[in-house]
Chains A and B, each alone.
Chain A
């Protein structure tokens, strides 16, 4: 085979390998992904045994700890449906009532169980001006 043909052959092999690997990657990403849902969406769509990323705000007054389990409720950002979650694992420092959180949950026999160490609290909005209650202008 002359050099030019060899080079073209090599190029085709390399490109095919890249396409195959990329396809495998893309395919698995769709099946491995957990959809991000708000509480109102989750209530409607949750299937037992599948993981979902629940995003919303922590309902004030709903946070209780019993031993290793942290119970709290998550509601839509705009208010409305709220879902109780039982979570075990690391609780990030910024976690508190009224903060936006993301937690991976699974529906198990009617309860929503948070996946271990999956709780993320959005860094408090340093870039938004503090709500009027938190600032004091004399």
Chain B
């Protein structure tokens, strides 16, 4: 079956090559049948890669260890769910996933545009097939998923236990969907420039794909942060790690693009800016993929050997150079039709928002690639840490939130100054109220956090005012009762009110971030049973140790042989709040020396225990001292005296010893306020985005069209 997989890759490469030629030939010689053939190549590619992916999936699910990648990342004892997802835990497998997702999204995009923008779509097809061909070539020549070893091994190395969490398994496909979706606007941007058509139709088509990319990338980032916080043992959700930043950068430029596209739609300006943004987003997405794959930057995620570095750098160089050339050579097509009417207009606020987002992206870019930059400039590799990032991103984030509160109050094209001034009173009032409430509650330190809370209050007031006034206007126009008015208001003005909901969600998210980072209480210390400690206003008491053996009793269902942990009682002001059960799982290591070490000598994984609440999270992690002499004695005795299948006896003794005489364990305890609002805010953002982009019922559009036309003609006759 590996042969089928290999053949699929070769067929796929051939399809890409032919498709590129056919699309370009079709559009340049006005032979639409060749363009159509080129488009069908994308569909065929999706089919072929689906077969290849299926071959690999089946190999994993059926434990076919002849496949090297299956033997490296899976084993008979790996649970089925993780076996299925282990496909993309390896370099080769994730390349296949990337190419497959690219082919699927490209097929969808080209199918949806098959009847329009034929010239642009043909060029876009060529670009997408080129990218797909690049990844397929990587698989054929550098890292093939279908390499086999004969004779077939009996057992595999097993999935890294660090990855045995459900969210971790969904995270790569979600993020890769985001990255690959970013390449579709890129392809259509290149196509538009080549075809010399950057017009209203292009805007309509590109906006949809850019939004899909924004949605999936945003979801991927949110899931990654959630996974980092809820599953990993460090208790944070964002560390300014290179790979985290790599996914954030295209999301920022994508957000900027979604805003500035509206200005191009209304005023026919910012065309150069927009195509640059769309090309930058796609390029940043490819750079993000490169960062994760190549290990070029020191990071927790730095996987992959150096072999992939050169091809990726070449691709990125081609993308950047090509983009600059295209924009410069097509600048006549990109000339602005109009100018901004007035500084006091929503268009200006959008431009300001764009500048802040791009500034944020630049800061993060600089900080992330700084090791490479400093090495190039003065020969020494140096890196900047989270404090540097925070110093610049926090003020920018404040300005961003503030702008999102100012925007709703200002009209399009040109606002009336007197009205604008009046409309600011409610938002300012809410901000002031927030400040007074905070000061009265005794929150006087952490000026940045307080500033963020006030800005969020400002946004809440501004958006709330918009909903209230909009509903009132609706009632005046159509006489609907208040709840119906609110609903039909949103339905008829999805883009505006969906956008307001997105901004509200962002404000909530930033409130959660500000609160949980500025007002956190943490404690790291050793405790023995019976001891307790204070974290903030909470008291945590180590009640008794826990020890569970074998996968059958492993709560987390991750296949660990032995789990050592603790039961903690959390109380506040004498009242019981929660019971936490953090533990550390010790996994099998197939080549371990000795029967006991082979059962628990593998990499340990911390299973944190958390009590999540609306106002705060209480988070705990434990590092039990398995190196304690009393326990190590048992391990060493078992290694030397017990046979290969008898190690489990020593494990039982270990568990018993740990329960009877638990050595002091290291605990990491954190109380973070308002963390849950980060996730809630994120979901509000995504929900608002969906509302904004949902197509309005066409009946509404037709009715408006008829009314506009007749009124327009009447006005013209009068004038």
Give A residues with C-beta under 8 Å from B: 7, 14, 18, 21-22, 25-26, 28-30, 32-36, 53, 55, 65, 67-68, 88-94, 96, 102, 104, 117-118, 120-130, 133-138
Contact = CB atoms under 8 A, between A and B. Distances in A.
B90 A33 contact: no
Interface in B596-639: 603-606, 623, 625, 627
Contacts of A35: 374, 380-382
Specify which of B302, B382, B384, B606 lies most central, judged by the most chain A CB atoms within 10 Å of its CB: B382
Interface in B210-237: 232-235
B153 A7 contact: no
Given A36-B382, A94-B162, A122 B302 contact: yes
A91 B383 contact: no
A104 B384 CA distance: 11
B418 interface: no
Given A28-B391, A65-B666, 10 more contacts: A25-B363, A26-B366, A34-B385, A35-B381, A53-B383, A88-B524, A122-B300, A125-B303, A126-B72, A134-B157
A101 to B, nearest CB: 10
A25 B300 contact: no
B483 interface: no
Contact of B668 (A90, A123, A124, A137): A90
A102 B71 CA distance: 29
A135 to B, nearest CB: 6
Contact of B388 (A21, A28, A123, A138): A28
A23 B540 CA distance: 48
Contact of A130 (B72, B232, B355, B381): B72
B14 to A, nearest CB: 27
A102 B590 CA distance: 27
Given A22-B362, A68-B525, A90-B524, A33 B374 contact: yes
Nearest to B71: A135
A80 to B, nearest CB: 19
B363 A127 contact: no
Interface string B350-374: 0000010001001100110011001
B383 A68 contact: no
B339 interface: yes
A129 B68 contact: yes
Given A33-B370, A90-B668, A127 B303 contact: yes
B550 interface: no
Given A93-B233, A126-B160, A34 B382 contact: yes
Interface in B523-539: 524-526
A124 B366 contact: no
B604 A67 contact: no
Given A36-B383, A68-B524, A68-B666, A91 B366 contact: no
Nearest to B668: A90
B589 interface: yes
A32 B392 CA distance: 13
**Nearest 5 interchain pairs by C-beta:** A33-B382, A127-B91, A134-B591, A35-B382, A36-B381
5 contacts: A30-B382, A32-B388, A34-B385, A92-B233, A127-B91
Nearest to A53: B383
Interface string B80-117: 00000000011100000000000000000000000000
Interface string B514-527: 00000000001110
Contact of B155 (A33, A96, A126, A136): A136
Specify which of A90, A102, A123 lies most central, judged by the most chain B CB atoms within 10 Å of its CB: A90
B382 A92 contact: no
A129 B305 CA distance: 11
A33 B415 CA distance: 46
B73 interface: yes
A138 B153 CA distance: 6
B708 interface: no
B90 A127 contact: yes
A7 B303 CA distance: 49
Contact of B162 (A28, A55, A65, A93): A93
A82 B527 CA distance: 32
B313 interface: no
B301 interface: yes
B58 interface: no
A65 B103 CA distance: 51
A90 B160 contact: no
Contacts of A118: 385
A34 B421 CA distance: 48
B695 interface: no
Contacts of A128: 305
Contact of B154 (A25, A122, A138): A138
Nearest to A124: B160
A121 B627 CA distance: 20
Contacts of B73: 126
A46 to B, nearest CB: 13
Contact of A93 (B71, B90, B232, B235): B232
A102 B153 contact: no
A7 B387 contact: no
B526 A68 contact: yes
A93 B385 contact: no
Contacts of B385: 32, 34, 104, 118
B329 interface: no
B606 A93 contact: yes
A135 B73 CA distance: 11
B696 interface: no
Nearest to B396: A21
B605 A102 contact: no
Contacts of B380: 35
Contacts of B301: 123
B47 interface: no
Contacts of B362: 22, 25
Nearest to A133: B591
Nearest to B154: A138
A93 B590 contact: no
A39 B526 CA distance: 30
